[in-house]
Amino acid sequence: MLTEHKHLRTAIETEEMVTIKKNTGENYKFKLYAFGERGTLIQPELITEITEDLAQGVKTHFTDFDYIVSPEPGGHTWGMLVAYALHKPINILRMSTPDNQDATASIKRETAYNENYINFHGFKRGDRVLLMDDVISSGGTIYAIVDQLRVLGVEVIGVQVILVKGEYYEEIEKNLAIPVRYLAKV
């Protein structure tokens, strides 16, 4: 994990482990990061630090893109804050259930504990985008989004996240041939 992110480091080290009931009825242990998809109260110092550090990372590593793309439930908040900080447009990938899809394209998203659909609206062939999310665990969400964007003719120039768990991000870089940048690693 990077050491210069004081508030982020503290948030990662002090968050609690919770048990979530999976769709199958089994229990799944989940680290409840305040900045993540099942986050809770986020202090202003952490919001400021993450937003500023993500924006700086984008300015440093990803300079040539049309807009930010961020999925619900965890990435869209940070994507919105960084889009505001950089004065860039954002396209939020909204979630839906199987019976509530109204998108140009929709893909099934499966996580370790949940299943839903991600809707794609407003993309044009030739768009160049930066994908921003909160956490990469297995990488399944990133793979699914990048695959669908490529089907739509959209080029993903990179991925910027707050946290990576393990080394899965390296597989994403290799398999999808796009750089992945992060603020912290556990």
| Full domain range(s) for residue 87 | 44-185
Residues with Cβ within 8 Å of 59's Cβ and at least 6 positions away in sequence, in order, are 86
Residue 128: its pLDDT value, please? Answer: 98
- Given a contact cutoff of 8 angstroms between Cβ atoms, the answer to whether 134 and 165 are in contact is no
Domain presence at residue 33: no
Quote the pTM value: 0.87
E strands, the chain, in order: 17-21, 27-31, 67-71, 90-96, 105-110, 115-120, 128-136, 155-164, 180-185
- Given a contact cutoff of 8 angstroms between Cβ atoms, the answer to whether 12 and 2 are in contact is no
Q: How many domains does the chain have?
A: 1
Residue 111: its pLDDT value, please? Answer: 63
Residue 110: its pLDDT value, please? Answer: 67
Domain presence at residue 111: yes
Domain presence at residue 4: no
Residue 87: its pLDDT value, please? Answer: 97
Could you give the count of Cα atoms lying within 13 Å of 147 in the half-sphere of its Cβ? 13
- For 63, the 3-state DSSP assignment is coil
Residue 149: its pLDDT value, please? Answer: 97
Residue 81 one-letter amino acid? L
Residue 114: its pLDDT value, please? Answer: 66
Neighbours of 172 (CB within 10 A): 20
Domain presence at residue 137: yes
CATH number at residue 176: 3.40.50.2020
Cα separations (Å) of 121 from 92, 101, 133, 174? Answer: 9, 11, 18, 28
Residue 1 one-letter amino acid? M
Residue 5: its pLDDT value, please? Answer: 85
E strands, 23-154, in order: 27-31, 67-71, 90-96, 105-110, 115-120, 128-136
| Segments of the chain scoring below 50 in pLDDT | 1-3
